[in-house]
């Protein structure tokens, strides 16, 4: 078998069955490379026309238009409104945090202030109590002096009470009074002195209104200074009868 002929090789493709074109009727000589394709074999298609280029060019996306001044104003207004809302929201959060912090600080400061006020009030109460006691003591001094001057016979009652306070087993009872009070006590406390067998003595060291009773088993000090110190101590004061603190 000889070698295949050189040059282009064309295979004769037969036309579809039942459709064989007639070369003589077409007026052109049939070529082995030509073949008639029926429409039913092409499927969907559209014939291309030069006018389609203009349509494709018109369908291409165009560049966005430049914003107008009104558009810029609208964008600025929108940005400003967004910034205002963000700032308002942040301001509310900051205000809430400030209120909480301020409430905590105020509560702490008010608590400390109340404690300080309570301490100062306690100190003030003590000072007021001391001042009141001092006033009472000073008033008592004046009353006592006035009583001694206007009613010196009270010393007789003091002497009787002092003698009766001595133990019943006591002997050698001696009652010391100021010389000016001697006749007052001798007359006003005569029964008490006689009942206990007490002797009355004038003693210039005893302040008027005071009595000092001595015996073999003890003494009863009813002098004015001693009685005054006991009364002042009950009022929380150490002020002596002469006006000076002891």
Rounded Cα distance, 175 and 163, in Å: 8
Q: Which of 203, 221, 176 is nearest to 229 (CA)?
A: 221
**E strand or H helix that includes residue 140:** helix 69-150
Q: How confident is the model at residue 144 (pLDDT cuts 50, 70, 90)?
A: low
| pLDDT tens per residue, range 7-41 | 454 455 555 555 555 544 444 445 555 555 666 66
**pTM reported for the whole predicted model:** 0.44
Residue 40 is predicted with a pLDDT of 62
Q: Which of 198, 158, 152, 160 is nearest to 179 (CA)?
A: 152
Q: How confident is the model at residue 139 (pLDDT cuts 50, 70, 90)?
A: low
In this prediction, residues 44-72 reach a mean pLDDT of 64
Q: What is the torsion angle, in degrees rounded to the nearest 10, for the CA atoms of residue 195, residue 199, residue 202 and residue 204?
A: -100
Sequence-ordered list of residues with C-beta below 8 angstroms from that of 200, at least 6 positions apart, any chain: 175, 177, 182, 185, 186, 193
Higher pLDDT, 229 or 182: 182
Higher pLDDT, 232 or 13: 232
Q: Which of 162, 158, 142 is nearest to 150 (CA)?
A: 142
Residue 198 is predicted with a pLDDT of 92
| pLDDT tens per residue, range 69-125 | 888 888 888 888 888 888 888 888 888 888 888 788 878 888 887 888 778 777 777
Residue 170 is predicted with a pLDDT of 86
Residue 116 is predicted with a pLDDT of 81
β-pairing, 199-202 with 211-215?
Answer: unpaired
Beta bridge partners of 200: 175
Is 137 within 8 Å of 237 (Cβ atoms)? yes
Residue 24 is predicted with a pLDDT of 45
Check whether 159 has a pLDDT greater than 80: yes
Residue 123 is predicted with a pLDDT of 74
Rounded Cα distance, 246 and 241, in Å: 10
Sequence-ordered list of residues with C-beta below 8 angstroms from that of 229, at least 6 positions apart, any chain: 238, 240, 241, 246
In this prediction, residues 61-69 reach a mean pLDDT of 76
| pLDDT tens per residue, range 161-212 | 999 888 888 889 999 999 999 999 999 999 999 999 999 999 999 988 889 9
**Mean of the per-residue pLDDT values for the chain?**
75
**E strand or H helix that includes residue 149:** helix 69-150
């Amino acid at each position: 078998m000889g070698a295949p002929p050189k040059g282009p090789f064309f295979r004769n493709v037969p036309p579809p069955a039942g459709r064989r074109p007639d070369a003589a009727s077409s007026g052109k000589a049939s070529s082995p490379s030509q073949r008639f394709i029926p429409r039913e074999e092409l499927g969907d298609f559209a014939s291309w026309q030069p006018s389609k280029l203009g349509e494709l060019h018109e369908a291409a996306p165009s560049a966005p238009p430049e914003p107008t001044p009104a558009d810029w104003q609208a964008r600025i207004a929108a940005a400003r409104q967004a910034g205002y809302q963000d700032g308002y929201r942040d301001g509310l959060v900051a205000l809430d945090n400030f209120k909480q912090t301020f409430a905590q600080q105020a509560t702490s400061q008010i608590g400390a202030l109340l404690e300080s006020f309570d301490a100062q009030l306690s100190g003030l109460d003590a000072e007021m109590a001391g001042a009141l006691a001092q006033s009472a003591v000073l008033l008592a001094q004046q009353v006592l002096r006035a009583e001694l001057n206007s009613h010196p016979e009270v010393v007789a009652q003091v002497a009787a009470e002092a003698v009766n306070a001595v133990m019943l087993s006591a002997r050698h009872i001696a009652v010391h009074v100021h010389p000016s009070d001697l006749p007052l006590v001798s007359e006003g406390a005569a029964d008490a002195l006689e009942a206990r067998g007490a002797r009355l003595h004038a003693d210039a060291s005893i302040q008027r209104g005071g009595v000092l009773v001595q015996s073999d088993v003890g003494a009863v000090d009813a002098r004015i200074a001693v009685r005054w110190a006991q009364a002042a101590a009950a009022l929380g004061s150490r002020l002596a009868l002469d006006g000076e603190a002891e």
